[in-house]
Amino acid sequence: MAGFARFYEPLLGGLLAGTRRSAWALCPPRPGMVVLDVGCGTGAFLAPYVAAGCRVVGVDSSAEMLGEARRRLGGAALLLRGEAAALPVASGAADLVVAMMLLHGLPAGERPAALAEMARVAGESGAVLVADHRPGRPAGLKEWAARGLARAVEAAARHGGGVASLLAAGGTRGPAAAAGLEVAASRTAGGGALEVLRLRQPGTVA
């Protein structure tokens, strides 16, 4: 959607603030760590890692979003145009590879390939961190309302079908298992509508 990038943070940044905090808590910034954000959008998620002295890389398919990320992060980030299923980054190059609210926007058949690519870049010692919509029944009225708001936002962005297909696959856990990844840690976010998962390759300690 042309011209949307500049309005993304004013419109949605507040709604995603808690989810971002949950993700930062699962994988806190450490000086010197290398962080790759797949579907980096405006670069807002990377900002605390930059402030902590991390080396950060952002990949996005949208030149407009990369322009916003460049304005936000300046020369502190390497920003690359690319696709999630074919990342322009070497294997094992990152300590942490992140995808915030990206999976539901990808075609269903591409999700396992994207997660496998993220795991390739993270290597055996790195972590993969993914936030997206959480499957299952709402646990009470508050969570029901949070899910309703999340679905309404996605419908307005024309992502309703993608959310439905991701939930039908078991949320992030479905394509993660298809990519050969397992859940190392998780947090519920977005009032219960979303979840943040730290993924790892079997047999590793990431």
**Is the confidence at residue 109, as pLDDT, over 90?**
yes
How high is the pLDDT of residue 110? 97
Question: What is the pTM (predicted TM-score) of this model?
Answer: 0.91
Domain ranges in the chain are 5-200
pLDDT band (50, 70, 90) for residue 3:
low
How high is the pLDDT of residue 62? 93
Distance of CA 166 to the CA centre of its chain: 14
pLDDT tens digits for range 179-205: 999 999 999 998 999 999 999 988 776
The CATH class of 5-200 is alpha beta
How high is the pLDDT of residue 153? 80
Listing DSSP states for 26-68 in one string gives HS---TT-EEEEET-TTSGGGHHHHHTT-EEEEEES-HHHHHH
How high is the pLDDT of residue 202? 85
What H or E segment, with its residue span, contains residue 7? helix 5-8
